Copies of this chain bind each other. A is one copy, B any other.
Amino acid sequence: MATKTIKKVRDADATRARILAGAKKEFAKNGLGGGRVDEIALRAKANKRMIYHYFGSKEDLFRTVLEEVYTDIRAAERALELEHLPAREALEKLIRFTWDYYLKNPEFITLVNSENLHKARHLKKSEKIEKLFKRFVSMVGGLLDRGVQEGVFRPGIDPVQLNITIAALGYYYLTNRYTGSIVFQRDLMAPQALEERLAFNIETIMRLVCVDP
């Protein structure tokens, strides 16, 4: 059966994409320092030479992976279209989304951690990131203003602090899932524990933001 997208024996785009996906997995699992180029080639079913052909170096490959994951999460956030919801509903939806995204994309957290271990030196070289976030912060700022007008949110809350707080509540719990399960002696990843935590996070933010929580 002939299809429009014939599977080529040689396909630059597909190979590049496989390498990127392989790199994401490998770096997420072992960090930048612990990640192995040979292992990435293996995962991507590509020759190691191709990695250097398409990405130049291990560090540049890591930078590209980072750009991709940041672009992805912001795109998913934009797709929520929070502008069309009442402020309170929109806020709860954002909290739920952030939690679910971290839960379903654990590599996002480990990659960001790895980048911070390296003092964000790869992100510094990236040009496309800053614009991405400006839009996001102003969206949350608009959401807060709208809530104040509706009479449901307290005025004077900094959108950046709120963003950080929403992220923090989910991120910390999930990035420390392993040590946390040991020191607190309970399975933090059990379905019920996850539900409880999300409810706790929503309550924490609502009490912080709402006039009448």
In the complex, whether A124 has a CB less than 8 A from a CB of chain B is yes
Residues of B within 8 A of A185 (CB): 130, 133-134
Judge whether B113 and A113 touch: CB under 8 Å: yes
In the complex, whether A191 has a CB less than 8 A from a CB of chain B is no
Contact with B along A179-213 (1 / 0, CB 8 A): 11111111000000000110010011001100001
Number of interface residues of A (CB under 8 A): 57
Residues of B within 8 A of A31 (CB): 31, 33-34, 114, 117
Q: How far is the CA of A79 from the CA of B171 in the complex (A)?
A: 29
Interface residues of A (CB under 8 A from B): 29-35, 70, 110, 112-117, 119-120, 123-124, 129-130, 132-134, 137, 158, 160-161, 163-165, 167-169, 171-173, 175-186, 196-197, 200, 203-204, 207-208, 213
